[in-house]
Amino acid sequence: MPTIDCDPATARARLTDAGVRIDDGNTAHERWRAERDGAVAVAYDDKVVVQGSDPTRLTALLADGGGRAHVYFDGASRGNPGPAAVGWCLVTADGIVAEGGERIGRATNNQAEYAALIRALEAADEYGFEEVDVRGDSQLIVKQVRGEWDANDPELRERRVRVRELLDRFDRWSLGHVPREINERADDLANEALDDAN
């Protein structure tokens, strides 16, 4: 049960900004309560206690920000182009902080990979991480973003520019290629999003 020493008013504002609903406390000692995805935050006078099955869903929002995350991304397209989806995952020493998968309409596999990378970096930025180590199983995307390969397709060039803009928000970043088995969670999330829509 993580305990975060903080001003409850500041913590409440952070949660509200992230779209988390705040309710009144259940006792005279509780200032407020918030719940998200199996985690419950309870505010007292000078601290917030997070409990539940997955406390990391709220601890990253309540902490002062900063720190480092491992960011995994994957895109999937059935038909190339065809129905497409993205999957992403943010991991810290505390475990998975956030993850997501969603359909993005019709796209090529490379477009889906870029869309996944963009969504993952946006999430890492929203969570306030200062450093990110980004990993994906698309060698093309990794090498294009790092400037080792050219992006001849105008749409991919545009997405590469967006990725670089997002990376510039972090104090330090790295981007590397990993085998699919290392990127399994992001891959699963992208494919689950495609499967759920059928």
Domain boundaries, the chain: 3-62, 68-196
Token pair belonging to 185:
């969670």
pTM here is 0.74
Longest CA–CA separation in the chain, Å: 63
CB atoms within 10 A of CB 48: 27
* DSSP 8-class letter at 18: T
Residue 50 near residue 62, CB atoms below 8 Å? yes
Three-state secondary structure call for residue 14: helix
What fold is seen in the domain 3-62?
TATA-Binding Protein (3.30.310)
Ranges of beta strands (E only) in the chain are 3-5, 22-24, 32-36, 39-43, 47-52, 68-77, 82-92, 95-107, 131-136, 172-177
Q: Render 60-90 in DSSP notation, one character per residue.
A: HHHS-S--EEEEEEEEEESSSSEEEEEEEEE
pLDDT at position 1: 60
One fold for 3-62 and 68-196: no
Closest CA to 136 of 99, 182, 94, 100: 182
Closest CA to 194 of 116, 136, 118: 116
The enclosing H or E element of 191 equals helix 184-196
Q: What is 68-196's CATH number, 2.60.40.1080, 3.50.50.60, 3.90.1300.10, 3.30.420.10?
A: 3.30.420.10
Exposed, middle or buried: residue 57 (CB in 10 Å: 0-12, 13-18, 19+)? buried
Amino acid at 164: R
- In order along its 198 residues, the chain shows pLDDT tens digits of 677 778 888 889 888 888 889 999 999 999 999 998 778 999 999 889 988 876 766 776 776 666 899 999 999 999 989 999 999 999 988 788 888 899 999 999 999 999 999 999 998 988 888 899 999 999 999 999 999 999 999 999 999 999 999 999 999 999 999 999 999 999 999 999 988 865
How many angstroms separate the CA atoms of 112 and 80, rounded? Answer: 10
